[in-house]
Structure 1
Amino acid sequence: MHQRQRPGPFRAATPLILASASPRRRELLASLGLDFEVVPSQAPEPPPMAGERPDAYALRLARAKALDVAAPRPGALVIGADTIVVLGDRVLGKPRDAADAMATLTRLAGRTHVVITACCLAGAGGAVREFAVETRVRLAHPGQEALAAYAAGGEPLDKAGSYAIQGAGAFLVERIEGSPSNVIGLPLKELAAALVELEAIRPASPGPAAGGRGPA
């Protein structure tokens, strides 16, 4: 799938591939004004290993996704990403069903947790840059009935942590410390900086101002 370029602050200077089927990541990356291809990774997502730090776990998954797609695509830079939710020292994955989503939401309600998105930028020769960004999120506790109704609505079922701040789940969010886009699935500030440093993207040339006049 090809994502067409739209107005934004950057342009791609090398072929870019997003190794994710997530429509949220696709929209975030497109907001930068980039032309890129979407090739979802088929790499498995195993659970954390014993004693593995949450950020190291997220980086391991992002790396696996990026390398899976990059291997047969020489000349392209592949963006792999993985987002996890951490409460204390426990990684909360995507819920199995509405009941599991309700259990997760009950744990998170009224507490602060950490959302980690790891990114790996890779070419056919291997990883060239990787980083993980943390955002602290505090959820309100609107009551068990509201949590149950949200869990039953279906939105939490494909979300780490069982909520989506870009959807109806925004009613749960009391406070965010850090990058909101990181919670959605891509830390745009850090990702754009890394792509610029790698010369994979460059600032877009500004067009004429709306309603402006050309040279006299």
Structure 2
Amino acid sequence: MGTTYRLVAAAMALATAGSAAASERSYRADANATRSVDLSLCTNRVYVKVKGDGDTDLDFTITDDRGNVVHRDFDSTDLTFVTLTPRIDGGCASYALKVQNRGSVYNNFVVTIEDRGTTASTTTTAANTGQNRRIAIHNHTAEAFRKLYWSNTAETTFPTTNRLGTSPMNAGSNRNFDVNDGSGACHFDFKVETASGRSYTKSDINVCTESSIEFGTEFSH
């Protein structure tokens, strides 16, 4: 049976006095079992984050009240996050979160919901204050980069979006990117993967002050 998790915009906004309203609750997914959580979202922009205890792999699916899948994460971690934009008209929108535990032991996971609807104008202002977030990525290795990822340093894992798309970066080349996730954040982590499967990482780069990142001098497995 699912557990109802309600986020009410007006009450949360008053409680936080202008900051982004957030709340969290803990749940347990038994070994090789599925746990369902009902989400009742009452603002027009909501950030949802689900994080396990690190002991097992969790798979996540979120569906709306019509059964449409709005988010799915089947990677090998127990973390997922997504920003949902419910269509509400004086009420709340219902979503179903399904958490499937792929491990042989239980996993205690935390669901965090943050109301970003009431702070949309503030977020937009922070993300567009004129700060230049363009970064030149330099490939100083002997092979092409076929994948590039970046994530806000506040997150604990890289998203699955390959920023290079279908255009690898050849050895000795460089390419410019606008690193802006809309949150106003300046600090990001970067990871590249080469054609042979090697990976290079750079952590806690301030994209608001730095103009380039040099890959090829530090290697990580």
Per the shorter chain, which TM-score range? under 0.3
TM-score, structure 2 length as denominator? 0.27
**Higher Cα radius of gyration:** 2
TM-score, structure 1 length as denominator? 0.28
Structure with bigger helix share is 1
Structure with bigger strand share is 2
